[in-house]
Structures are given as C-alpha cells and as structure tokens.
C-alpha cells in the first residue's frame, strides 16, 4: 500500500492497516454479491441504529454502571 502525499497515518501499526484493508476487501465483495435493494435495506438498518444510539437517554458511563461493567480507577 502506498500513502499519498499529505496523508497521515491514523493507525497504530502496520497490522492495523492490514486488518482494515482486509475488512474493506471482504465488505466490497459482499456488496458486489448483493443487489442494490439489499444494500439500501442494510444502510437503513445501520442508520436507524445510529439514530437510536444518539437518542439513547443514558450516557455510556451510566449504561455500563447499571450493567456493573464500569471500570473505575482505583484511588491510592
């Protein structure tokens, strides 16, 4: 992979870049396999998830606290 002039590296390692590229290649193949209407349905579904997440009444911290999964820093 070559980087265009002016681009900055946004990944922590070469492995991150390789994993991202592998995911993109798989995703593009899946897009090619499905008709446009299937893709449009998937886009609507993902957009509805994002909208619901934005309108969720709890912060991520409050949600994790309710679930008992909030990690707090230990005080010394």
Q: Print the domain residue range for 49.
A: 14-67
Note whether residue 72 is domain-resident: no
Domain-located, residue 9: no
Q: How far apart are CA 56 and CA 63, in angstroms?
A: 10
Whether 39 is in a domain gets the answer yes
In a domain, 75, yes or no: no
Asked if pLDDT for residue 27 goes beyond 60, the answer is yes
Answer left, alpha or beta for residue 3, where phi above 0 means left and psi between -120 and 50 means alpha: beta
Give residue-wise pLDDT tens across range 8-24.
556 578 888 889 899 99
Asked if residue 5 is part of any domain, the answer here is no
Given this model, what pLDDT does residue 75 score? 47
Domain contains 48: yes
Q: Is residue 3 part of a domain?
A: no
Q: Which two tokens stand for residue 35?
A: 């008709």
What is the total count of domains within the chain?
1
In tens, the pLDDT along 37-64 reads 888 998 999 999 999 888 888 888 888 8
Residue 61 lies in a domain: yes
């Amino acid at each position: 992979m070559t980087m265009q002039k002016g681009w900055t590296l946004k990944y922590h390692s070469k492995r991150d870049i390789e994993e991202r590229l592998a995911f993109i290649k798989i995703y593009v193949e899946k897009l090619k396999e499905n008709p446009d209407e299937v893709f449009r349905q998937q886009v609507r579904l993902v957009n509805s998830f994002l909208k619901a997440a934005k309108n969720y009444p709890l912060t991520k911290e409050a949600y994790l606290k309710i679930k008992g999964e909030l990690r707090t820093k230990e005080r010394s």
